[in-house]
Amino acid sequence: MTVEFKKEDLVNLVFGNKTPLVLVEEGKWEDEGKYAYKDFVFEYEGKFYLIILDRSGSYFTEYNYGHEYWDDLVQCREVVKKDKVIYEWVSP
């Protein structure tokens, strides 16, 4: 299920400013060459939602953030936290 949130509230959330949304978890930047992505999980009225912020540019130049292209209302996906088991091959 998706819910719309105000762009202003989401921008304030991802940049650490005051907002009615509560930041629950902030991911790390996942670099994919020209673009990088970062996940933010936030709580609103007892439910949890996901927003993904993207950026382009580099450490040596200025970054351009994708929120500049969001509409005034942004669709965010409702999420729940689940356990995930990962198996790896390791030396005995």
Q: What is the pLDDT of residues 30-74, one digit of tens each?
A: 988 788 999 999 999 999 999 999 999 877 888 888 888 888 999
Instruction: Find, among 42, 62, 61, the residue nearest to 51 by Cα.
Output: 42
Number of domains the chain is built from: 1
- Whether residue 68 lies inside any domain: the answer is yes
- Whether residue 65 lies inside any domain: the answer is yes
- Whether residue 13 lies inside any domain: the answer is yes
Q: 24: domain range?
A: 2-79
- Whether residue 85 lies inside any domain: the answer is no
- Whether residue 84 lies inside any domain: the answer is no
- What's the pLDDT at 67? 84
**What pairs with residue 42 in β-bridges?**
23, 49
3-state secondary structure of 66: helix
Query: Phi first, then psi: what are they for 34, rounded to 5°?
Result: -65, -30
pTM of this prediction exceeds 0.85: no
pLDDT-derived band at 5 (thresholds 50, 70, 90) equals very high
**CA angle, corner 74, sides to 63 and 84, nearest 5?**
80
- Whether residue 45 lies inside any domain: the answer is yes
- Whether residue 92 lies inside any domain: the answer is no
3-state secondary structure of 47: strand
What is the number of other CB atoms lying within 10 angstroms of the CB of residue 86? 4
Of the chain, the percentage scoring pLDDT greater than 70 comes to 100
pLDDT above 80: residue 10: yes
